[in-house]
Amino acid sequence: MRAPTIRAVGLLSGWGPGAAAVPSDAVRAAAGRAVLKLERPALDPERFRRSRRESLLGVAAVGAMLEDAGVGAEAIAGERTALLFATAAAYAASNREFIEERAGGMYFPYTTAAAVPAEVAIEFGLTGPYEILIGGPTATMRAVVRAAALLESGACDRALVLAVEIFEECADLFERARGRLARPLVEAAGCLWLEPGEGTLSFEQRRGGRSEAGGARQRLGEMLACEPVAALALGRDGGAAGPLRLQGAWRGETAWLAWSQSPYWMRGAERPRRRRIA
């Protein structure tokens, strides 16, 4: 499969904005904190008066991506931009509040995983292909593969891979599953801007496997679906210039996503032409 290039990355996490805020060791930096929370973004209070925190974080992540690219929202608006959303738990808080009858009926739409990408699509005028993938890091890696397929087929000119995870409202529930999740739990929202690139992209997934020593989770903490976006942000800011390989694990499955050459877009570089499909 033809590999996509990463034109821009937006990353917000409980560590702070951008990859520069991520520590070298998550457990040490967390200093015993179980959850590192992302505060509600300061967006238009009238426009977003009914929006949930997870939806606002999705909007803010796309805004951070646009800032990273140095362009306005008009650059991604319209039917030629695909939106692929990945999460494992972003809608858990809304479901819990609705079930416990604390939020009222008007928040029922936010109990679905579609709420976050829908809010993003409305805010930025995205009307192209649209997909939702549920799961941890492997779901986001599959979203990148799906984005690459859409770009290669000519279904879109650019694809946004968005991931959002929040934990604070359900911290006690996650504590019960502590044997399956790393610590600390780090709330995050990230977005990749992908365009047609050079080289090849490969994806492999199988049962079992071991986490790589010194991998992203050791440095980031547990970000679930946001982990690959954060890892790619770290690689870009760290000056990765050659082939790149990501590993992710979720519910007994381990996956690997690999670019045959650096996926990072260089400012001023000519955009690769999209192949015509006969």
d(CA 63, CA 108): 26
Q: Is the dihedral of CA 213, 216, 221, 226 positive or negative?
A: negative
At residue 91, the pLDDT reads 85
CATH of residue 93:
3.40.47.10
Write phi, then psi, for 102 (nearest 5 degrees). Answer: -100, -20
Which residue in this structure is represented by tokens 């479901």?
95
CA distances from 104 to 55, 97, 112 (A): 17, 8, 15
Is 70 exceeded by the pLDDT of residue 49?
Answer: no
Mean pLDDT in residue range 171-177:
80
Q: From start to end of 156-271, where are the E strands?
A: 158-165, 185-186, 188-207, 244-250, 253-259
- Tokens coding 73: 């929202």
pLDDT of residue 212: 55
Minimum mean pLDDT among 160-164, 179-183, 218-222: which range?
A: 179-183
> What number is the average pLDDT over the span 201-207?
94
Q: pTM value?
A: 0.90
Residues facing 13 on adjacent strands = 16, 188
Higher pLDDT, 11 or 269: 11
Residue bearing the bigger pLDDT, 203 or 90: 203
Separation between Cα atoms, residue 154 and residue 174, nearest integer Å: 41
Chain center to CA of 45: 24
Please indicate, yes or no, if residue 278 is contained in any of the structural domains. no
Asked if residue 275 belongs to a domain, the reply is no
**DSSP-derived secondary structure letter, 126:** B
Enter the tokens of residue 98.
Answer: 């609705």
Lowest mean pLDDT segment, chosen from 80-84, 207-211, 242-246: 207-211
Q: Is residue 277 part of a domain?
A: no
Residue 267 lies in a domain: no
Q: Has residue 72 got a pLDDT over 60?
A: yes
Task: Provide the number of structural domains found in the chain.
Answer: 1
Task: Examine the pLDDT at 273 and tell me if it is beyond 60.
Answer: no
| Predicted confidence (pLDDT) per residue in 137-151, tens digit | 999 999 999 999 999
Range of the domain at 106: 2-259
* pLDDT digit string, tens, across residues 145-170: 999 999 999 999 999 999 999 998 88
Cβ(225)–Cβ(165) below 8 Å: yes
Q: Is the per-residue pLDDT at 263 higher than 60?
A: yes
> Are residues 175 and 34 in contact, defined by beta-carbon separation less than 8 angstroms?
yes
